[in-house]
Amino acid sequence: MNKRLQSIIQVLLILGVLIFINIIGNYIYAYFDLTEEKRYTLTSPTKKLLRDLDEVVFVQVLLDGDLPAADFKRLQKAVRELLKDFRSESKFIEYEFINPNKGSVEQINERRKELAKDGIIPVNLVLEGVEGSKEQLIYPYATFTYKGRYTIVNFLEAERPGIPKPVLVNNSVALLEYKFANAIQKMQVDQKPNIGFLQGHGELARLQMLDFEKTLRQFYDTYYFNLDSLLQIPVDEINVLIVGKPRFPFSKQDQFKIDQYIMNGGKLLWLIDRLNVNIDSIDQNKRYVPLPYNLDLENLWFSYGIRINPSMVLDLECSAIPLKVGDAGGQPQFRAFPYFYHPVVAPKSEHPIVKSLDRVNLFFPSSIDTTIRTKTSVEKTVLLSSSAKSRVQLTPATLDFEMLRIPPQVEKFNQPFQPMAVLYEGVFTSAFENRVTESMMQGLQQLNMQFKTQSEPTSMIVVADGDIIRNDVRLNDQNQPYPLELGLNPFDRYVYANKTFLLNAVEFLLDKNGIIESRGKEIKLRLLDQTRAIAEQTKWQFINIVVPLLLLLIFGLGYTWLRKRRFGQPQ
């Protein structure tokens, strides 16, 4: 009776401990991330963002249902696991998965129309099978709702030529945390940051930057302004200043205003054409000699450690332009030729701005000298650089289209990895140190401001191509101009990542919380060697099925023998 009572008490104690552990487990969540790249560990800025939530963020994922493709099943699973991790950090995260393809034909078609109104366009998934190909529309989207605000996130990266589907999905999984956290952060902002577009020095017209501006206006307020109308550039009102392809000189007063904007912590995105050259100029003149723009900004840049060389970078990895090759039936015939002055840049840097970014199309870019020394500590990070098969052409040089009619001399493309976009971070020295005029000092006194010789810690990005932000303009049926999508190359029939690069640059300059850190997250794709897997199929089937059963049998026999030896009655 005593042994039976002890056994009952032990069972009850074990059950009590298990129940207690389950109760505690509902309030305490922990896991061990043993992966090499820490794929299941949220970054510190994301954790802080989630813990600071004060109201429910409701996430609706449109990727529910049975997905036939293994890659998209992995994406679906990754989204679910990420939202569980978000939920473990904050009780204000709520989510659900829905299947837009569920219901009657009428319901599905009506739902698709409603989704299309919000810009939610499905991906046509083509599956090859024994009975032929099969198509299925899937929606790799999530909608976020917070305090009455609403935003949509497309978490599938755009397809790129030559990129296998598993790699595409893997890149999408790597960027999930950044995209979701970034969406929550933007909805939390009560007052939109202000993005200023500088005018008055021959910069691109508003219509030529309209596609990028329209994209910015979803989350930011945008302004166009002329420095002549301002005594200063207020840092608290212009959070990022964009200088888009100026062509006329900057006066000393304008330089001083920009300088003191930087000294007070202002952020800049310089988009600079060093040479006056474009396709139309060459086409009209047949032989064209590009000359440098006289911007009078060299001294200003030099004090910040910036130098844009008056040169052109040629690259064998480039986009195409059409050239007339003849006539047929009275109609001109065109053919696309690779144009080395239009490099297509695949980012090599691991910086979050360009991590996993698609190719960027540049137009007559110059190279940037990153060896300029500064009085203070300025860190320089190359964001975009040319390929291994590139070279620099110094000016003056004559340009024409005759070079396209002969094969390129590959051996001359021997100046690889020329920097064309650079991030500068740190403390900058004023270009007007010991050079402030009396009128400049009087202007500062009117504003109750002091002249600063060193900046607060800040950052700026320099791109040696002003046309990176320019969208083409066409006329509609009513003869009204409208912008094409930024990055669209109609000759290649491809949309390059110019807009994404510029958006990432602006978000990095504005990001005080470090959310963009999660964009640098890497998830390694470990693919099986299919040839070896097929050749060794029987071997691995034996190891995975028979060996565990043998081990279990050996353990059972050994355990039984030990019990008989220990507790068996002697004969």
Answer whether 232's CB lies under 8 Å from 259's CB. no
Residue 362 or residue 445, greater confidence: 362
Can you give the pLDDT at residue 35? Answer: 63
Tell me: pLDDT of 533 over 80. Answer: no
243, 248, 250, 254: CA torsion to nearest 10: -60
Ramachandran category for residue 119: left, alpha or beta (phi over 0 → left; psi -120 to 50 → alpha): left
Q: How far apart are CA 169 and CA 438, in angstroms?
A: 60
Per-residue model confidence as pLDDT tens digits over 436-491 = 877 777 777 777 788 899 999 999 999 999 999 999 999 888 889 999 999 998 88
pLDDT, one tens digit per residue, over 222-249 is 999 999 888 889 999 999 999 999 999 9
Res 101: pLDDT: 87
Q: Is 39 exposed, middle or buried (0-12, 13-18, 19+ CB in 10 A)?
A: middle
CATH class of 193-516: alpha beta
Q: What is the pLDDT of residues 129-138, one digit of tens each?
A: 545 566 778 8
C-alpha closest to that of 383 among 425, 418, 342, 351: 351
Write the burial class of residue 464 (CB in 10 Å: 0-12 exposed, 13-18 middle, 19+ buried). buried
- Mean per-residue pLDDT of the chain: 87
Domain range 40-186, its CATH number among 3.40.30, 1.10.3470, 3.30.460, 2.60.40? 3.40.30
**How long is the chain?**
571
CA dist 419 and 345 (Å) reads 11
pTM of the model: 0.80
Query: Looking at the predicted structure, is the pLDDT value of residue 429 above 60?
Result: yes
Q: pLDDT, tens digit, for every residue of 280-299?
A: 888 887 788 999 999 999 99
400 token code pair = 């024409």
Indicate the domain borders of the chain: 1-30, 40-186, 193-516
